[in-house]
Structures are given as C-alpha cells and as structure tokens.
C-alpha cells in the first residue's frame, strides 16, 4: 500500500524573487519621482507667485501633480518590477496589515487624509485655514502632512489625519479675497455714532481694501460692561494683506478717535497697531 505523497506548499514571498538589482531599480524610480515632483512643484510655485490674482488657482495643481507623479512611480515599482501575482498581493497585504498594527496606523491615516485633501479639497495651497490650534497660510500639501505659515512667520507641520480629528476652518475657500476684521474699543458713554463713522472711514480708505457690491464694509457695535467694541469688517484684495489691513485700520482709527475726543475706556483688551 503506497502512502499518499505530502503536498508541498510554496511560500508566496519566496516567489517574489527580489534581488539587489530589483531593489536598486525600485529605489532609482522612487528617487527620480521625488526629484521630478520637487522640480515640478517648485516650478509651479514660481509661476503662481507671478500670476497675481490667479496665484491660488495655479497652486491648486501643485499637490495634484505631485500625487500623480508618486502614483505613477509606485505603480511602476509594484506592477512593472515586482510583477505581483494574486498570491504575492495577499502576502504583501498581510505584511502591510501587520505593519499597521505595529504602529504605522497614524502614518497610514495621514496618507489617507492627504488623499482626501487632494481630491475633496477642504483647503488648497494658498488658503488661510485653521487646523487644530494653528491658523496660517497653507504653503504645501503633502501625502503625510500639511505645512502652514502662521502670522508670526512660524512654519507648522500638521499631520493630515488632523482633518479627521476636528473641524477645518477655511477663511477664503480658494478665493484671493479674504474677510479681515479689526476692532477698537471706546468707553460705554462715548459717542458711538462718531466712533462708527471713524472706523468705517478708516476701513474704506485703507489701501488694502477690496470694495464692491459683493464686498461691502460693515461696522458692528457690541456692548460690554467696561467698554464698547467697534468692529470693522472688510475684504482685502489679497489674503496676504489681512494683517497689514487690520494694522492700518486700527492705527488710523485710534488716531482719529483721539483727535475727535471720543472717550476711550479705562479697561480694555490690547489693541495692536
């Protein structure tokens, strides 16, 4: 009686046949993709800075082009070099799942967040947004993280998974214009009408303001126990002029209030010029 022959099971990973040449070729493709992506991104950014009001429109293509370059490179490595079959894909998928379980889940979530940002565009390069506790202009959108430059010229790197952790506030949503808000404070007994006229005039005459039927100047009065807040709202023609505008309006409004003899409060928040 002849015994049954044992069935030998092959190792899917052994069939990958990854040698030194394959690894070198894969590294070369990825490095080339990185260099090309950096060059193209730099070129598009330079063109955007010369595009005036179309700056944000041009910068929208930076993360899209970079994603396409990286996607083509990865597809070339995976499909053309390794030539995965179904068994190999299952094996590599198992390894990827194990890697995610051992601490790469945040990185994977950030990459997914980067894809969401690229395709759903809750914000774009050039927008002014609030991510978590940080507010600033988006200077770069990568697959792993977004870079912001804050008003005090600090670069902040925010992982893209932040879009899953809380709300994202976009101040301009791709437009060149942005609503800027400035406020001054007067005593509760001060002449409010005169104070409103002064703040409105300071906003209307600012060199940074954008005036149109769709972009009017609005002045709001808010009462408080120790002071009255006069808040001026107006659009700036270029979002980068947000703080030059608020500084200009605040400085000239304070000077005009003092000249007009409008009573100022004894206790009020700091008013930065």
By CB atoms closer than 10 A (0-12, 13-18, 19+), residue 27 is exposed
Q: What are the tens digits of pLDDT across the range 71-95? A: 777 777 766 555 555 555 555 555 5
pTM tops 0.75, yes or no: no
Q: What are the tens digits of pLDDT across the range 169-214? A: 999 988 889 999 999 999 999 999 999 999 999 999 999 999 988 8
Report percent pLDDT > 70 for the chain. 71
Q: What are the tens digits of pLDDT across the range 101-151? A: 555 556 667 777 777 887 788 888 889 999 988 999 998 888 788 999 999
Which pLDDT does position 13 carry in this prediction? Answer: 47
Q: Where along the chain do the CATH 3.30.70.380 domains lie?
A: 178-260
Those residues whose C-beta lies under 8 Å from the C-beta of residue 117, and which sit 6 or more positions away, are 63, 123, 141, 146, 160, 163
CATH superfamily of domain region 178-260: Ferrodoxin-fold anticodon-binding domain (3.30.70.380)
CB of 231 within 8 A of CB of 222? Answer: yes
Question: Taking the CA atoms of the chain, what radius of gyration do you get in angstroms?
Answer: 28
Q: What are the tens digits of pLDDT across the range 18-33? A: 556 666 777 787 788 7
């Amino acid at each position: 009686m002849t015994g049954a022959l044992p069935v030998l099971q092959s190792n899917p990973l052994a069939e990958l046949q990854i040698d030194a040449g394959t690894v070198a070729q894969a590294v070369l493709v990825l490095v080339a993709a990185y260099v090309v992506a950096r060059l193209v991104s730099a070129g598009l950014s330079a063109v955007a800075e010369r595009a005036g009001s179309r700056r944000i429109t041009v910068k929208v293509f930076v993360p899209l082009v970079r994603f396409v370059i990286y996607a083509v490179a990865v597809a070339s490595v995976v499909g053309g070099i390794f030539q995965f079959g179904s068994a190999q894909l299952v094996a590599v998928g198992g390894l990827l799942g194990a890697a995610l379980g051992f601490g790469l889940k945040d990185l994977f979530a950030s990459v997914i967040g980067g894809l969401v940002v690229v395709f759903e565009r809750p914000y774009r390069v050039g927008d002014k947004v609030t991510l978590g506790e940080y507010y600033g202009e988006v200077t770069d959108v990568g697959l792993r993280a977004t870079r912001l430059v804050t008003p005090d010229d600090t670069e902040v790197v925010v992982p893209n998974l932040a879009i899953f952790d809380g709300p994202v506030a976009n101040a301009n949503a791709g437009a060149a214009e942005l609503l800027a808000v400035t406020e001054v404070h007067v005593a509760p007994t001060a002449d409010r009408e005169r104070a409103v006229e002064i703040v409105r005039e300071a906003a209307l005459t600012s060199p940074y303001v954008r005036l149109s039927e769709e972009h009017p100047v609005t002045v709001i009065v808010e009462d408080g126990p120790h002071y009255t807040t006069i808040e001026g709202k107006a659009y700036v023609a270029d979002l980068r002029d947000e703080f030059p505008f608020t500084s200009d309006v605040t400085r000239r409004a304070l000077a005009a209030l003092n000249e007009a003899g409008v009573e100022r409060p004894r206790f009020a928040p700091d008013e930065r010029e």
